A and B are shown apart, each in its own frame.
Chain A
Amino acid sequence: MQAAIPNSGPASKILWAAVSIVGAFCLGVVSLRRGEPINAIWLVAASMAVFAIGYRFYGKFINSRVLQMDASRATPAVLRNDGLDYVPTDKWVVFGHHFAAIAGAGPLVGPVLAAQMGYLPGTLWILFGVVFAGAVQDFMILGISLRRGGRSLGNMLREELGPQAGMVAMFGVLVLMMIVLAVLALVVVKALTHSPWGTFTVACTIPTALLMGVYMRWIRPGRILEVSIIGVLLLLGSIWLGARVAASPTWGPMFNFGPSALAWLLIVYGSCASILPVWLLLAPRDYLSTFLKIGTIALLALGIFLAAPTLQLPAITRFIDGTGPVFQGGLFPFLFITIACGAVSGWHSIIASGTTPKLLDNERSALLVGYGGMLMEAFVAIMALVAAASLHPGVYFAMNSPSALIGTTAQQAATTISQWGFVVTPDQLLQTAKDIGENSILSRAGGAPTLAVGMARILQSIIPGEGMMAFWYHYAILFEALFILTTVDAGTRVGRFMIQEIVGLVHKPWERTDSWVSNLLATAICVSLWGYFLYQGAVDPLGGINTLWPLFGIANQMLAAIALMLATVVVVKLKRQRYVLVPGIPALWLIICTLTAGWEKLSGPISFTGAAQKYAQGLAAGKLLAPAKNMAEMQRIATNNYVDMALTGLFMLLVVVMAMFALRALLQAWRSVSPTAHEEPYVALGSVPG
């Protein structure tokens, strides 16, 4: 077995000492300099140093001591090589694939919302969260799955914690997925509300994808690169055309929709998309979104390095006390709920126990793919934070505060936000809207538009030109909408299969995924589940994100807690309990965060319960409460809050139940004298015929 920290020569010692000093100095500048704005490069450099040190020391420690990855042991890809799902693959290729699968809208949205507390709290949580929790989760689940034939998270939970635990977790994943789809779709709704330019370009992705699908099916089958280049060119063309459409008095109004109309359009679209053959719509859009995502992340990184923007947002704002307009709740626990992906994301445990473990050619590569892949995602989150923090604070709050707080005109918004201490003039808000080619920037919560403005500013400063800012803004909106809609499509499909599996346990015929009746019914159930929350968010008086994002965060961190509990149990089952704290502390931390956040959402001033009761009492007294315009709306707000309350309670119950299952398995394993984990037997790499 290797030593935890391989012996290193003097040159390497000097190098790492230098990295540590530079990192500590940059982090010091980021954390301690007050009163004068700092350059984003300090933050980027500090992050890179922290990631390098985390990888080199903590990652390697987990690799050799906790997981005891063994370069001589055959991986599932080698043992079950079938040339299709199980294929020994070059580690950098697997790294690219893994990163493309875990990177999504999450790390871009969360940090932008959390910027209301200033850039420092978010930065520190991303940096330390990823090193001690997020990357640990991804890496450990990957390592554990590697020793179990590349089994899925659900399977491993059933095996190690018992069949009931597996069932509970499967149900939890389904509910989480519905919330994820609703929140992400809501981000699109918020970005496209009364934006004919944005709506037109996003709508154009549908015919573009159909065209690509037909091309790839019949004209030039399987030529992904070729068709993707055509697709990207068509999309860029549609951004250019969108400006003309929006300006036209006849065409413009046809693409101008309010939030509830957009929500309905997405619901109808989601139902159709999940029934159409995959090659026609879903697959081509998936290719486009994958390439555009990677390309745009690279472009953003390049932009930040070249433009080196100054962070205009303060390091810490007064909203750490929990009175912020973007989301309610104090620093603890809500910062740790709001930034989920980027610091630690439960969803990754599904990918790390999905295709990735079936591709690794050697256990030695798991550190790079599992731990390293998550560090890359954290870097994306840091870049999103930089993009948001480089905006004028007044513009940031105008874009992210609900209209119930800042009003609906630039005049009202500027007055309110200036009173909060972020002095801004109505002209600045109007000018920003004009620069990006929109009518208004007010109350566009959800992260995407803010990030788009931030990105547009950064990119415009390296590629200047008349109207370029508006182009880049709509490019960024298009790119986010594209991969969110792909997630909605694919998620609806996966959700449908999960519903069929769950109902199939009770009523056999439902399991048949080739039956049209059960397919249509399961799709309808799936779409109405996420559609309900999407519509609720679209008409929500506080703008939806304010209400739904905490629910999403709680659910995602709940899944991360479950994955880390599994890792903890496995470590004990392997009789390596001296390392139990490695996954144990982050698991405990996430349990504490989700339960505290859940509790605050159940009782107290910022709770769903409180809001529901307020409106129910108003209703009983016949008194109209803003922003409801009639009694029916009052009733709807009350009901929605009761539903959210029940859902929060359900998530808390899931966490507690899973913690009890984990504790039971852990105690049993602790008492046992010999290892009890379900690892597959050791096979030497050399003994497998190639």
Chain B
Amino acid sequence: MTTPLSDKLRTGWKRAVQTARLSCGVPDYDVYVQHLRTHHPEREVPSYEAFFRERQAARYKGGGGRCC
């Protein structure tokens, strides 16, 4: 019933990486790939590098900004 500690650690680490990336404006790549596969199977799946570049440019396109 209880999940082994190693699984918990793995999920925790994944969440931490996800938070760190999101704080820098890069959403989860695996989630995006999953989304494309289910909803837009006709579209080409970009490589992580291409995905990263696109998100990096999108973050600073104006709007929002950050706090003082």
Contacts and interface: CB of A to CB of B under 8 A. Distances in A.
Given A221-B53, A224-B24, A283-B60, A487 B35 contact: no
A139 to B, nearest CB: 16
A96 B65 contact: no
Interface string A482-511: 000011001101101110000000000000
Contacts of B57: 278-279
A92 B19 contact: yes
Interface residues of A, number: 59
Given A82-B35, A283-B59, A345 B24 contact: no
Contacts of A84: 27, 32, 55, 58
Given A81-B35, A224-B20, A282-B60, A101 B52 contact: no
Contacts of B55: 84
A106 B15 contact: no
A596 interface: no
B31 A83 contact: yes
A283 B60 CA distance: 8
B18 to A, nearest CB: 5
A497 B63 contact: yes
A193 interface: no
B66 A487 contact: yes
Contact of B63 (A87, A152, A552): A152
B65 A341 contact: no
A498 B62 contact: yes
A249 B63 CA distance: 46
A224 B26 contact: yes
A63 interface: no
A87 B20 contact: no
Contacts of A493: 60, 62
A286 interface: yes
A219 to B, nearest CB: 11
Contact of B24 (A92, A152, A290, A498): A290
A184 B67 CA distance: 11
A365 interface: no
Nearest to B22: A97
Interface in B15-45: 15, 17-28, 31-32, 34-36, 39
Given A96-B19, A221-B53, A490 B27 contact: no
A537 to B, nearest CB: 15
Nearest to B29: A222
A279 B53 contact: yes
B64 interface: yes
A399 B64 CA distance: 34
B8 to A, nearest CB: 14
Given A222-B49, A494-B62, A101 B68 contact: no
B20 A225 contact: yes
B22 A490 contact: no
Contacts of B17: 225
B15 A350 contact: no
A97 B25 CA distance: 9
A96 B23 contact: yes
A102 B65 CA distance: 10
Interface string A87-126: 1011011101100111111100000000000000000000
B67 A354 contact: no
A351 B35 CA distance: 25
A348 interface: yes
Given A90-B18, A224-B26, A348 B67 contact: yes
Given A83-B31, A348-B67, A490 B60 contact: yes
Contacts of A104: 66-68
A177 B27 CA distance: 27
Contacts of B52: 221-222
A84 B43 CA distance: 15
A347 interface: yes
A106 B68 CA distance: 5
Nearest to B24: A287
A453 interface: no
A104 B65 CA distance: 12
Contacts of B22: 89, 93-94, 96-97, 359
Interface of B: 15, 17-28, 31-32, 34-36, 39, 48-49, 51-53, 55-68
17 contacts: A81-B35, A83-B32, A87-B31, A93-B22, A96-B20, A97-B23, A104-B67, A104-B68, A180-B68, A221-B53, A222-B48, A222-B53, A224-B21, A225-B20, A351-B67, A487-B68, A513-B62
Q: Which 5 A-B pairs have the closest CB atoms?
A: A83-B35, A497-B62, A222-B52, A96-B19, A100-B23
